[in-house]
């Protein structure tokens, strides 16, 4: 039986969402937990589970590579053949059968390098010659799926060109990782292992560089030698109570000013005073000083924390609730499967501009939660561009955007409890904060300038800064 059009997604949940929009009629499953759905209009939908293929080991390509020493190193084959991943043989067989029967195939995997490669390597593995389409889909909501289906037809050539380029880029990166890993692991094991030592010295593009950073830090700790350094603090008595009121609201009549080498920039070493002679000169100059204080006033603004990606969410969840990264991932995965959060495994920190029209509905839904009463801004702000909350068309689409709450019914939100509720609130507060005004402070800086007494002739300033909250801004999202 021929298949008029076969959609191939990367994950089962996206396949189910797509089939629902296409008008699913029936679903078939096999023993490997793989499935396909027959939909209206001659459309069929199936899915992978990540990569169904894996590269061969060197000795499977050429028996000469069984030798772990020269001259078999480096290992640089023209191509690296692939085989079924262990445990996914049945799934691969089912997908291959469907692809061979398809009159046309729609690549509906994630729109990134790895997603493109997952589909393209299957097409090449089974030598599929059917016409191809690319579905630019990265969200499961019905409106996003329908928009992607419309673009699939209108922008076919451009989408396929981009998809092909992304797949080749991912293939090249995989090839380089394989060649480096296999060649250097064998070279290191053969030539760097101490005599009479068994075991493999692994090399990896990320692993080895990360270990090098750890080693460099460990060496710095071991070689650290403490050095005396000096702090200069000066207590300044004001002439009268009027001056205290003028300098900073609520400030005492005695101010403590500090000398900070290098200002607020540079390393710890740059911001410390190690020369005792210079320290004594500053102290003497400060003790002899008398005059008018330099007082400047300004306003300081602080933006909300950037939208969460998975790693920043895990870090914040660990700090606030003591959860391990795996616990946090399990919680957001569960919330994602319930349709309350967007896809969690994202490295991006931008909300998609396509979500702006839905922002109000999401904020309204969040406002029904008792913990978020009073947290929703009256006039939500939309900030688009680099290092802001929302992306722009010029910045391009991504496979997965920053984690965000989805428009859900008050009943579904009210039903949340335990750690899942705490995790949802963490993401919700971050989302709300990114639609609030900046946090603002009135800043009063008080300083005295001393004569240039240092050997370097650098100016010497002792100062103190007083900050008073003037606009809570995004802090209203947090208790």
Question: Distances from the Cα of 268 to the Cαs of 121, 229, 260, 278, in angstroms?
Answer: 50, 11, 11, 18
Instruction: Say how many CA atoms lie within 13 Å of 228 toward its Cβ.
Output: 5
Write down the pLDDT at residue 334. Answer: 92
- Nearest residue to 325 via CA among 337, 334, 313: 313
Identify how many contiguous H helices and E strands the chain contains and give both numbers.
Answer: 14, 13
DSSP reduced 3-state for 118: helix
Question: Distances from the Cα of 336 to the Cαs of 73, 181, 242, 316, 343, in angstroms?
Answer: 46, 35, 59, 18, 6
Per residue of the chain (479 residues), what is the pLDDT tens digit? 899 999 999 989 899 999 999 999 999 988 777 899 999 999 999 999 999 999 999 999 988 888 887 677 888 988 999 999 999 999 999 999 999 999 999 999 988 889 999 999 999 999 999 999 999 987 788 888 999 999 999 999 999 999 999 999 999 999 999 999 999 898 888 888 887 778 888 888 888 889 999 999 999 999 999 999 999 998 877 655 444 444 444 444 678 899 988 766 556 666 788 999 999 999 999 988 888 889 999 999 999 999 999 999 999 999 999 999 999 999 999 998 888 998 888 888 999 888 899 899 999 999 999 999 989 999 999 998 888 899 887 666 666 789 999 888 889 999 999 999 999 999 999 999 999 999 999 999 999 999 888 877 788 999 999 999 999 999 999 98
CA 35 to chain CA centroid, nearest Å:
31
DSSP for 407-451, please give it. ---HHHHHT--HHHHHHHHHHHHHHHHTTSPPEEEEEEEEEEEEP
CA triplet 168, 169, 172: central angle to 5 degrees? 85
Q: Are strands 5-9 and 105-108 parallel, antiparallel or unpaired?
A: parallel
> For residues 340 and 274, what is the distance between their CA atoms, to the nearest angstrom?
55
**Residue 361, token pair as written in the block:** 């509905």
Write down the pLDDT at residue 396. Answer: 63
User: Containing H/E element for 182?
Assistant: helix 156-191
> For residues 14 and 142, what is the distance between their CA atoms, to the nearest angstrom?
11
> For residues 225 and 256, what is the distance between their CA atoms, to the nearest angstrom?
31
HEC-encoded secondary structure of 213-243? HHHHHHHHHHHCCCCCCECCEEEEECCCHHH
Write down the pLDDT at residue 311. Answer: 95
> For residues 178 and 172, what is the distance between their CA atoms, to the nearest angstrom?
10
């Amino acid at each position: 039986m021929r298949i008029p059009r076969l959609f191939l997604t990367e994950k089962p949940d996206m396949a189910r969402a797509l089939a629902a929009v296409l008008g699913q009629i029936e679903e078939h499953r096999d023993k490997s937990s793989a499935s396909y759905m027959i939909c209206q209009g001659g459309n069929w939908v199936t899915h992978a589970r990540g990569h169904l293929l894996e590269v061969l080991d060197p000795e499977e390509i050429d028996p000469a590579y069984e030798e772990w020493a020269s001259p078999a190193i480096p290992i640089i084959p023209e191509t690296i053949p692939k085989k079924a991943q262990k445990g996914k043989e049945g799934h691969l067989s089912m997908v291959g059968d469907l692809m061979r029967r398809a009159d046309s195939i729609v690549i509906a995997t994630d729109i990134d390098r790895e997603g493109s490669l997952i589909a393209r390597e299957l097409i090449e593995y089974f030598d599929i010659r059917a016409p191809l389409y690319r579905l630019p889909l990265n969200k499961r909501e019905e409106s996003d799926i329908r928009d992607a289906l419309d673009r699939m037809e209108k922008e076919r050539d451009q989408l396929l060109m981009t998809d092909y380029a992304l797949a080749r880029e991912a293939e090249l990166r995989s090839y380089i990782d394989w060649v480096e890993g296999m060649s250097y692991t064998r070279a290191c094991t053969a030539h760097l292992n101490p005599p009479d030592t068994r075991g493999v010295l692994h090399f990896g593009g990320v692993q080895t560089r990360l270990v090098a950073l750890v080693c460099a830090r460990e060496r710095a700790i071991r070689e650290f030698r403490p050095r005396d350094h000096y702090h200069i603090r000066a207590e300044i008595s004001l002439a009268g109570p009027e001056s205290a009121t003028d300098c900073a609201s609520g400030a005492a009549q005695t101010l403590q000013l500090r000398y900070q080498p290098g200002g607020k920039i540079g390393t710890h070493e740059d911001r410390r005073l190690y020369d005792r002679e210079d320290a004594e000169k500053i102290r003497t100059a400060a003790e002899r000083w008398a005059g008018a204080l330099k007082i400047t006033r300004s306003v300081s603004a602080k933006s909300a924390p950037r939208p969460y990606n998975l790693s920043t969410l895990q870090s914040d969840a660990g700090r606030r609730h003591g959860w391990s990264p795996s616990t946090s991932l399990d919680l957001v995965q569960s919330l994602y499967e319930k349709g309350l959060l967007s896809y969690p495994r994202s490295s991006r920190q931008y909300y998609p501009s396509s979500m702006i029209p839905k922002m109000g509905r999401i904020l309204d839904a969040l406002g029904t939660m008792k913990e978020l009463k009073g947290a929703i801004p009256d006039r939500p702000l939309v900030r688009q561009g680099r290092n802001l909350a929302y992306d722009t068309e010029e910045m391009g689409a991504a496979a997965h955007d920053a984690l965000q709450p989805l428009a859900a019914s008050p009943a579904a939100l009210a039903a949340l409890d335990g750690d899942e509720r705490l995790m949802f609130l963490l993401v919700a507060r971050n989302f709300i904060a990114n639609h609030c005004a900046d946090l603002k402070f009135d800043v009063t800086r008080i300083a005295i300038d001393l004569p240039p007494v240092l050997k370097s002739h650098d100016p010497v300033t002792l100062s103190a800064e007083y900050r008073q909250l003037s606009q809570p801004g995004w802090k209203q999202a947090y208790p």
